[in-house]
Structure 1
């Protein structure tokens, strides 16, 4: 499997089927919502932009028929804005960098075909991550920083679309 934290584009091309879908991309940038290695690579780049040293430590792997289930611990430091997008691709929320570390459990499900990932979905501890990073409960100053981060992300998103 390609590593969202350290794999390069060629790794994604070698492990992701051209028609693969990431069922977890609903709040990611539009480029992540497509199919195939390019969309999965876009997800990795999006994740790395907020958590440059993101890491997934594999705790358990279970395989059954065409399914591979990985229980992992995702960890990293929040160094860049973590931006969430709406269905229309518009910036919905941005969490300003806190420079705090986090470690949370996740379970990733992969459907495989011909040795390649064709589908991915996950169960994550997003609330645990939010608490560790200080997103909840937010301080008044952090809300201001998030509003600024959202405005910057929205302006950057508009500029990219206009190119």
Structure 2
């Protein structure tokens, strides 16, 4: 007996919060595509459960106590719309990417994040096959002191970039994402 659309939606965000590979195999279709992977490590764009597991590892590396309380769900046979909050504490570097390269590394601030998102999940064969989101990233960056820039946060980000800590953080976070996705064998073009 498979999960219904509501269970699939809750399951997807539980995977992101916990990194549960068994749940990922049950919830995520092998053809899964994440249209939001552009700002994350390249492993997060892998198809299927591997990309979701990589995305969760990337987010949990920056935010401890990560959770996604669901506020509302609307669904039909092919899609689920989920309104939720993303909550956590910024205890690790939050590294954002552009075209697979370091774009921005926000050093840990210890600040809490709590902001609303809407996710659209495409369903096929009783699993989640696609994801896109409407997120209030500006609210999150404001909660982290990045936008508008708080002087202490801006100086720490600059220091991290100048000293190479930002690049090292990007390398570490990318490696965590690859490991969560099942290792280099799942990434075309990479060798062990």
TM-score (norm 2): 0.77
In structure 2, distance between residues paired with 1:157 and 1:112: 32
The equivalent residue for 2:46 is 34
Query: Mean Cα displacement is larger for which, 128-137 or 28-37?
Result: 128-137
Greater length-normalized contact order (CA 8 Å, ≥ 6 residues apart): 2
Residues 1:154 and 2:174 aligned together: no
Of the candidates 9, 21, 25, which is equivalent to residue 9 of structure 1?
A: 21
In structure 2, distance between residues paired with 1:102 and 1:157: 21
| SS of structure 2 residue aligned to 1:49 | helix
Tell me if the contact between 2:19 and 2:57 (Cα under 8 Å) persists in the aligned partners: no
Tell me if the contact between 1:90 and 1:154 (Cα under 8 Å) persists in the aligned partners: no
Of the candidates 46, 55, 74, which is equivalent to residue 67 of structure 2?
A: 55
Structure 1 vs Structure 2 CA RMSD: 2.0
Tell me if the contact between 1:108 and 1:122 (Cα under 8 Å) persists in the aligned partners: yes
TM-score (norm 1): 0.90
In structure 2, distance between residues paired with 1:158 and 1:8: 23
Q: Deviations over 1:3-41 (max 9, x none)?
A: 111241111111101110011100100100111100110
More helix by share: 2
Tell me if the contact between 2:105 and 2:169 (Cα under 8 Å) persists in the aligned partners: no
Instruction: Tell me how far 1:140 sits from its aligned partner.
Output: 3.2
Tell me if the contact between 2:33 and 2:129 (Cα under 8 Å) persists in the aligned partners: yes
Instruction: Tell me how far 1:156 sits from its aligned partner.
Output: 5.3
Residues 1:148 and 1:19: Cα distance change in structure 2 (over 3 Å): farther
Tell me if the contact between 1:96 and 1:146 (Cα under 8 Å) persists in the aligned partners: yes
The equivalent residue for 1:83 is 95
Any unmatched runs of 5+ in structure 2?
Answer: 1-10, 176-189
Residues 1:73 and 1:13: Cα distance change in structure 2 (over 3 Å): same
The equivalent residue for 1:65 is 77
In structure 2, distance between residues paired with 1:119 and 1:155: 31
